[in-house]
Every structure is written in structure tokens, then in C-alpha cells.
């Protein structure tokens, strides 16, 4: 009787995995501001309020130059949005933020208002990893926020495995590394050994502000200010922490599994 009730209940619930990316992306909570937009033309040349309140120095305002916002350093506290008198910096609510090049996360002074979304891997690597990608996750002194949102992707609602993407226990079984945390000096040797254990060809994904640029710990002598100080990075996924949808979007873009065009939005 118990088994029968369990099966009936399961049938009534149906498929709980979201339709995305074939269907619309799930709605983000109101408090998730999403990617930031910088309209340098609106910026008051004499104002530096945004740079003053930024806790990670993600905003630079050289004298006489347009404001520059580095989403790689940004922890999305939205203080700059609050204090900007001309609304030159705004929240878009857009979950899409992953990029292939570090410089693509810098907005404003380069003429970009929003990030240039990640291009897919080359044809050879897509043929190798496009349908089966195994990742070893390394928490390099992370606070477990990025790790938690990465773990969410394995739940029934997201079901990362349906895309052929799985996390593995051994780097020798992996196609690449997914790194979180600012990469402390204590984790340096462990990270290098883990990277060396992954067979070639391999990829590296930096998830979160810490893994990209050090996050709140930027400049601390016991950290390396992110992954790229030690390893070549193939995909940057900003956030503090990134929403699971932001992480999934980045992974699918890297593998060429999204139909929408990339480029400046």
C-alpha cells in the first residue's frame, strides 16, 4: 500500500524539472538585481559617489574620464545604484553575465553598457565536451555561498545531468575545474595539483567575485585575488554569489547549447 501511494503521488506531481532553456527562464526573485548596466553618457563628470561607496573598488573614476565598473570585482551590493544621482548605473534583472574574457566584464569607459556574453568553445572542444562535460569543483577558500548555488543545479528542479554536465570526485575523471573562492595561499598547492591531475585538453571556470578577482578579500596578502593568478580561465561567471540560473547559462553558452545570439546586449 505504501509503495502504491508513493507511486501515485509521484505521478500526480509530474515532471518538476524546469523547461529552461527550451522554455522561458524562471522568474528571478525581486531582490535579485541581476546584471548592472552603465550608461557613461549620463555620468556627472564631477561626481564620484559610486566609487566612494564601492566596498571592493569595482568602480574607477579617473579625473576627466567616464566611470568604469568591473563586474568581476562587483559583489552586487547595489550601493552604487542607490547613490548615483543621474541613474547612470542601474540594475537590469538579467541573469546572463558569463563571459570568456576578463576584460569583457569592464563596463562604462570601454563604451560597453552591458557585458559581452560568452562565446562557445571552438569546434574541436565542443565535439569533445558538448554532450558530456565532467567538472571537479574546487572550493579555494570560499564562504560556501557560490558552492551552495552550484550544488542547487544538481537538484530535481534544475537537473544539470540532463545536459550531460556532472560533477565528479576525482580530477582524473574530469574535463575541467569549476573554482570558487579567492584562492588563498593555503589552497595554492592543492589547486595546482588538482589542475595538473586533469587530463588534457581541459577547461577552467571561475565562479563568483572571489574566484574572478578576490571579492571582498581583494588585495589581502593571504589571497591570490582569484583564479587567473595561477591558472588560465576559460569562463568567468560573476556574482556574489551568482544565481544558479546565471551559472547554468554560462555553462550552456560555453558548450554552445543556447540558440540565442551572443554579443553586446
Per the domain annotation, does 225 fall within a domain? yes
The CATH number of the domain holding residue 243 is 3.40.50.12280
Q: Could you tell me the CA-to-CA distances from 220 to 66, 74, 113, 179, 239 in Å, in that order?
A: 28, 16, 30, 19, 20
CB atoms within 10 A of CB 127: 10
Q: What is the pLDDT of residue 263?
A: 42
Q: Is residue 108 part of a domain?
A: no
How many domains in the chain?
1
Q: Is residue 146 part of a domain?
A: yes
Q: Which residues pair with 70 in a beta bridge?
A: 106
Across the chain, mean pLDDT equals 89
- For Cα atoms 222, 152, 115, give the angle at the middle one, nearest 5 degrees: 65
Q: Is residue 99 part of a domain?
A: no
Q: Which tens digit of pLDDT belongs to each residue from 187-230? A: 999 999 999 999 999 999 999 999 999 988 888 888 899 999 99
Confidence category of residue 242, pLDDT binned at 50, 70, 90: very high
Query: For residue 100, is it within any domain?
Result: no
Which residue has better confidence, 110 or 205? 205
Is pLDDT above 90 for 101? Answer: yes
Structural domain boundaries, residue 167: 123-254
- Quick check: is 91 in a domain? no
* Domain presence at residue 165: yes
**Tally of helices (H runs) and strands (E runs) in the chain:** 8, 10
Q: What is the model's pLDDT at position 259?
A: 67
Q: Give the lowest-confidence range in 14-18, 113-117, 171-175, 203-207.
A: 14-18
**From start to end of the chain, where are the E strands?**
36-38, 59-60, 68-70, 89-91, 106-107, 133-139, 165-167, 176-180, 203-207, 235-237
DSSP 209: H
Q: How far apart are CA 236 and CA 97, in angstroms?
A: 9
**Would residue 33 count as lying in a domain?**
no
Amino acid at each position: 500500500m505504501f509503495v502504491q501511494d508513493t507511486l501515485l503521488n509521484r505521478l500526480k506531481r509530474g515532471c518538476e524539472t524546469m523547461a529552461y532553456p527550451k522554455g522561458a527562464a524562471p522568474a528571478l526573485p525581486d531582490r535579485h538585481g541581476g546584471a548592472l548596466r552603465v550608461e557613461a553618457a549620463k555620468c556627472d563628470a564631477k561626481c564620484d559617489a559610486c566609487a566612494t561607496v564601492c566596498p571592493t573598488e569595482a568602480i574607477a573614476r579617473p579625473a576627466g574620464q567616464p566611470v568604469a565598473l568591473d563586474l568581476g570585482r562587483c559583489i552586487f551590493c547595489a550601493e552604487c545604484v542607490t547613490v548615483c544621482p543621474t541613474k547612470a548605473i542601474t540594475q537590469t534583472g538579467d541573469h546572463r553575465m558569463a563571459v570568456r574574457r576578463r576584460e569583457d566584464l569592464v563596463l562604462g569607459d570601454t563604451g560597453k553598457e552591458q557585458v559581452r556574453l560568452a562565446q562557445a568553445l571552438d569546434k574541436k572542444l565542443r565535439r569533445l565536451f558538448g554532450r558530456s562535460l565532467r567538472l571537479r569543483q574546487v572550493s579555494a577558500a570560499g564562504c560556501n555561498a557560490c558552492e551552495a548555488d552550484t550544488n542547487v543545479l544538481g537538484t530535481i528542479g534544475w537537473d544539470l545531468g540532463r545536459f550531460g554536465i556532472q560533477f565528479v570526485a576525482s580530477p582524473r575523471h574530469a574535463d575541467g575545474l569549476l573554482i570558487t573562492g579567492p584562492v588563498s595561499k593555503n589552497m595554492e598547492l592543492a589547486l595546482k595539483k588538482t589542475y595538473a591531475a586533469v587530463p588534457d585538453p581541459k577547461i577552467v571556470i571561475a565562479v563568483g567575485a572571489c574566484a574572478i578577482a578576490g571579492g571582498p578579500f581583494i588585495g589581502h596578502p593571504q589571497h591570490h585575488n582569484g583564479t587567473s593568478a595561477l591558472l588560465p580561465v576559460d569562463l568567468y561567471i560573476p556574482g556574489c554569489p551568482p544565481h544558479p540560473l546565471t551559472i547554468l547559462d554560462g555553462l550552456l553558452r560555453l558548450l554552445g547549447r543556447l540558440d540565442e545570439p551572443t554579443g553586446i546586449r
